[in-house]
Amino acid sequence: MSTVTPWRAVWLIAKRELNTRLRTRSFVVGTAALLVAMLGFLAVQAWISDSTGKNTVGLTGQTTGVSEQLTKLGEQAGLKIVTRQFPSADEGKAQVQSGDVDALLSGTAAELRVLVKSTLDDKLRGVLDRISQQEVLNGKLSEAGLDPGQVLASVATTRVAVTELEPADPDRAQRLAIGAIVAILLYITLFTYGVMVAQGVVEEKASRVVEILLSTVRPWHLLLGKVIGLGIVGLTQLVILAGVGVVGGLATGVLTLSGVATGALIWGVIWYLLGFLLYATLYGAAGSLVSRQEDTQAVIGPVNLVLIMGFVIGLNLMTSAPDGQAIKIASLIPLLSPILMPGRIAAGTAALWEIAASLTLTLLAVALFTWLGAKIYQNSILRTGSRVKLMDALKNR
């Protein structure tokens, strides 16, 4: 007879998992390593973002007069142009040779000569061509007795009329990136701690510890307590990584959508809880079928395959066709929803009815797989020796 209430028993088992796992060196070291990797990734992205589209242009002689024009036209072309003036062409040439300067201008505005180390950026070439063309045009207009300023102002105000059926989202690329990162974090966490549930079940079964535990608690208490305990451990790591990632991304300027990033974190936590309940029960049930760690991979293989294939296919669809029908359908499948739907929500491609439908279907799947998993676990956990067949584990006893 159990001497404690069911939920008290579940909590004691969950607390045991928390005390055991959170204090392990592997958890601390693993979390620290992931944090270092994430911060390093953010630093690299910040450096790439800062350096992308940046060109240092040296100016000599008469070309010093085009500095302001060069910077302005560069901004219009999406280039960040930094100018440096050199008293002589030789000094500028030395800087080009060393790689500190991307291009050195000489000659006149109408006849620019450009010195580069190897190749000239196409966008920068276009900006320099515009400067020379505009200078030549100014000369021709003056020869014709026209005011270049008035003519160019009239030309500059001329625009084509564009009607947009669906205005482009300027933040779409960043939203998609946040969605992909959320999917990756959820996949890693679900996979890691799901497998840990299976390994823990097999370890207790092999050491006969489970026989002692089951003398005071029921099998489903033990399974649910283990799932909840390891789920909280995984959630702790997920929140640490995601929280530091959001703060670091905003601090470095890699992330600028603070509302989207925070919303992605909240939805990520919700879907992690649902996904872990869904998968951890399956992993625990699969682990109860065997009595040796070396046999664990064979029984959890099908669960791993579903999780891995769903993640790989889903991530490819999310990045290549985020608005396609395939990703919409895949994100409604309960076994794939915990990874794909939060990513779609962060990317801004999920409709409200799709979110509601996926939540409902996933909750139903959680109930179904929890019942099946508990049944398999209860019928298999005390059977040692050879591997328990799945059909035998599903039979009523």
Q: What is the pLDDT of residues 64-91, one digit of tens each?
A: 888 888 888 888 777 788 888 888 888 8
The alpha carbon torsion through 144, 145, 151, 152 (nearest 10 deg) reads 70
Q: Lowest mean pLDDT: which of 107-121, 160-174, 225-239, 259-273?
A: 160-174
Q: Could you tell me how far CA 311 lies from the centroid of its own chain?
A: 12
234-251, pLDDT tens digit by residue? 888 888 888 887 777 777
pLDDT at site 358: 93
How far is Cα 151 from Cα 138, in angstroms, rounded to an integer? 9
257-292, pLDDT tens digit by residue? 667 777 777 888 888 889 888 888 888 888 888 878
pLDDT at residue 110 tops 80 = no
**Helix orientation angle between 172-206 and 296-320, rounded to the nearest 10 degrees:** 180
Per-residue pLDDT, averaged over 176-180, amounts to: 75
pLDDT at residue 52 tops 60 = no
pLDDT at site 51: 57
How high does pLDDT run on average in the chain? 80
pLDDT at residue 179 tops 50 = yes
Distances (CA, A) of 106 to 134, 139, 148: 17, 19, 24
pLDDT at site 2: 44
Are 225 and 9 spatial neighbours (Cβ–Cβ below 8 Å)?
yes
How far is Cα 73 from Cα 130, in angstroms, rounded to an integer? 8
pLDDT at site 266: 85
Q: How confident is the model at residue 1 (pLDDT cuts 50, 70, 90)?
A: very low
pLDDT > 70 fraction of the chain, expressed in percent and rounded: 85
Residue 96 exposure: Cα atoms within 13 Å on the Cβ side: 24
SS3 115: strand
Residue 80 CB neighbour total at 10 angstroms = 14
pLDDT at site 167: 63
300-322, pLDDT tens digit by residue? 888 889 888 888 888 888 777 77
